[in-house]
Amino acid sequence: MDFRQEFIEFALARNVLRFGEFTTKAGRLSPYFFNAGLFNDGASLDRLSQFYAQAILASGIAVDMLYGPAYKGIPLVSATALSLARAGRNLPFAFNRKEAKDHGEGGQIVGAPLAGRVLIVDDVITAGSSVRESVEIIRAAGAAPGGVVVALDRMERGSGALSAVQEVARDHGLQVVAVATLDDLMAFLRQRPDFASHEAAVSRYREEYGVAQTH
């Protein structure tokens, strides 16, 4: 099975991905809900980071190190660095403090110094504000943002015609790697007769709010 389909099965098993009726922050009635914060034990974080590593390696994206924006990105970047090292690609990693430390070693960055092409590791991209802040931090350190990796690309329009992922590509010139996309979710649902009612609802939602394929 393709790792993207495995990831969707895993998210369902952990109740991170659920079907029903959920109101999004944009006020839309979505037939599915994805909450990466529910990958909240050791085993699920370990498995999640393996999927991140697979997605990064499969993308062929050229980066020199990993960066996780506080707070959600901190465990993600740490675990992803471990999984990449196990897979034979050992990369330095760093994350930021929300408040700059004024004692000890000081500074805003914890971990390896930001240098070269830096891959931002996050859970999802919504309005892109977290990405914008990360890009500013990376550039201020004299490094170059090299891309973003997230768990799920909802492939959904924002306030305009583009999705949050497409806006990041347009505004920052960054490649966004997703472990899975809405299209992958729909492919999974089509293969599962027991999810037929959800497949129809997600398909309708995709037609109403979706954007073109992003990878």
Q: Report, as residue numbers or ranges, the catalytic residues.
A: 101, 103
Query: Which residues lie closer than 8 Å to 178 by C-beta, 6 or more apart?
Result: 55, 149, 150, 151, 152, 153, 165, 214, 215
Q: Any idea what the Cα angle at residue 45 is, between residues 3 and 20, rounded to 5°?
A: 70
Phi, psi torsion values for 180, nearest 5 degrees: -145, 155
Per-state percent for the chain, helix, strand, coil, to nearest 5: 45, 25, 30
Q: Which residues lie across from 180 on neighbouring strands?
A: 152
